Every structure is written in C-alpha cells, then in structure tokens.
Chain A
C-alpha cells in the first residue's frame, strides 16, 4: 500500500517541480524567480524524503534538514540583496 502511494507522491511532487521550474524561467520579476527558487528547495526536500522512504535510506532526514536550512538562508540573502543591493549594510 505504501509503494503505490510513494509513486503517486513522486509524480505529484515531480509535476510541481516542473511547474516551478517554468516559473523560474519565465519570471517576470526577480522576486518571482527567488520565490520559485525557494519553492524548488522545498520541493527538493519532499523528493529527498520520498526517495528515503522508497529506498529505505534512514539518513535522508539529515539531507532534508540541510536543504531546508540552505534554502532558507539563500532566500533571505537574495531578498536582502534585492531590497538593499547589499547583503550587509
């Protein structure tokens, strides 16, 4: 029962990632692109967790946490740059 659910999950999240990539390419504003990058990071967490489930890898959790942290810090840094054109004022 878990295996088909994981497959469906992969399909749904994969589709979401493809749509997000489209928004990343299209823009039109920089804020849109940063938003798309942030969403991509979160989608990547979902994919890593699903991958860990389907292959039975127990340390996928650490990877997920790392992507979450890096994604957040990256988003904040990019936004700060866009707001002030300098990361440290």
Chain B
C-alpha cells in the first residue's frame, strides 16, 4: 500500500464520518450508504473496505463501545462487497438506488441478528419489529438520495481521481 492510498482511505473515512454527523439530527436519513456505494464504484472494494473499518472504529471512539456498533463491522463490508460485484456489470443509478433501498430496509434485521447473539432471539425479534418504521424511512430515503446524487457524485469523483490520484 502506497502513502497516497493511506491518505485516500483517511479522506474517504473522514468524509463518511462527517456525512453521518451532518445528518445525525434526522433519524435514519443518511448519506453513508451513498458514499460507500460511490467510493466502491470509483476506488474499488479494497480501499472502501479499509475506509469502512476506519469509519466503524471512529464510531466507537465517538459513541463508546456497544454491541450494535459491532454490526457496523459486518453490514458496511457487506454493502461494499455487493456493490463491488454489481459494479462490474451495472452502471445504472437505479441498480444502486435499489441496493441502497434493500440495504436500508434490511438494516434493522441485520442488526437484530447481531443483537440476538448477545441477548437472545426474543430480544432480536422485538428489536427488529420496533425498528420497522425506522427501516422504512432508511430504505426509502436511501433510494431517493442515491437515485438523485449517484451520477453527479460518480462524475465528480472520477474527474478528481484522474486529476489527483492516478498520476
């Protein structure tokens, strides 16, 4: 790994953390999913995965350790892998908006699985059921945000990558 890769991963994870904090006052509306998808398409799975590890660790530093944060180490890499596989075949923003929507709708269920490991199946079930309205907001807002912003962001980042990264 080159120094510029380390710098890039730092910048990517910092923008994701900042993007999350900026929208933290609106429950379950976020641009983290959009950023991970766009970064994976432009910079690839490996760098995005490392950015996700830095991002998840930063979350622990900000909010303190709790079991739900462990889920971050699983769900973001999962999104990156799915995006990485799709990016080889698909370019349409509708595909990525759909991935983001499915990811948002399933977010509570994915975390419920992690919570079940620690607190039992009954807790995981209730955790998921209670969070359904939040998952609906999450998936729907992901779809809209990605559909609107995916193409412009891809265009800007591709140009920036050509100018500053691929020298």
- A and B held together in a complex: no
Please report B residues at the A interface, Cβ cutoff 8 Å.
none
Please report A residues at the B interface, Cβ cutoff 8 Å.
none
